Amino acid sequence: MSPHIAPLPAFAALVSAGLLLNVCSAVGDGASAVARRTVSVAGGAAGSTGRPAPQPHIIRPMEIPALGPKIRARLTTANRQAVVVTGGSRNSHRATVMLYERAPVQGWRKAVGPWHARNALRGWTEDHRQGDLRSPIGVYGLTDAGGRLPDPGTRLPYEQESAFTVSGTGFEGESLEGSFDYVVAINYNRIPHTTPLDRSRPLGTAKGGGIWIHLDHGGPTHGCIALPKSRMKELLRWLDPTKKPVVVMGPETSLGK
């Protein structure tokens, strides 16, 4: 064998090594290409321009427009009906009533209104006292109804009783007769689930009581909310005790807090 010629096994080993390196390089290049294609495909999932894919639209439940965060916080998830009584100012005895219902996903929506209403002669207060001639500001349950006339078709417990009789004249000389033909008790300083005629006062007599929604007699009230007879009948038929109805009442500036 010539000394200038490498032994075949060694030469073959070098050739094999070269081929192996070429094959690994080709596999490596192929893997990189595959990786590049994978990245490209993954990028394509976000859109051809490379922008992020659109996010799902989130539906936020609607709120009652007149109410601010502090008042909203006093409504529980159980409350699915709200009678919103909005006064024009703290000293006004005229108000507007809107009825709202809450749906599971959409949130609060207007059901009925606006209606014209009256409140106490001197307007509103956050610290109601017996005889102050102001309506209490706040959120109160509506659980009981009654009146001198027969039940017009309400789902609330209703007591027909001759004791719902009133006489005399109001602040503007108007007759009060018939004002309590239909009433809904506002759960201010009273025991819920009792007749509106119950005179129990859990906060004491100095804090007043007997605050109702009743018929409009043509003038300001002592503390109650007053609606025309047709609206009272509509309200009584609309209220549903399974929806835990509440009245939210006060001047616009207080309800918006």
- How is 182-212 classified by DSSP, letter by letter? SEEE--SSS-SSS-TT----TT-GGG----E
Determine the Cα–Cα distance for residues 212 and 82; give it in Å rounded to an integer.
15
Mean pLDDT score, 191-205: 98
pLDDT for res 60: 76
The residues pairing with 166 across neighbouring beta strands, listed in sequence order, are none
As a whole-number percent, the residues of the chain with pLDDT over 90 amount to: 75
pLDDT for res 66: 92
Determine the Cα–Cα distance for residues 216 and 249; give it in Å rounded to an integer.
17
Determine the Cα–Cα distance for residues 46 and 56; give it in Å rounded to an integer.
14
Residue 148 has pLDDT above 50, yes or no: yes
pLDDT for res 49: 60
User: Where residue 57 falls among pLDDT bands split at 50, 70, 90?
Assistant: low
Residue 27 has pLDDT above 90, yes or no: no
pLDDT for res 172: 97
Q: Domain extents for the chain?
A: 1-49, 69-255
Contact 66, 252 (CB under 8 A): yes
More confident residue, 113 or 50: 113
Report the chain's mean pLDDT, rounded to a whole number: 85
**Whose CA is closest to 149, among 34, 49, 236?**
236
User: Where residue 11 falls among pLDDT bands split at 50, 70, 90?
Assistant: very low
Instruction: List pLDDT tens digits, range 199-228.
Output: 999 999 999 999 999 999 999 999 999 999
What's this model's pTM, rounded to 2 decimal places? 0.77
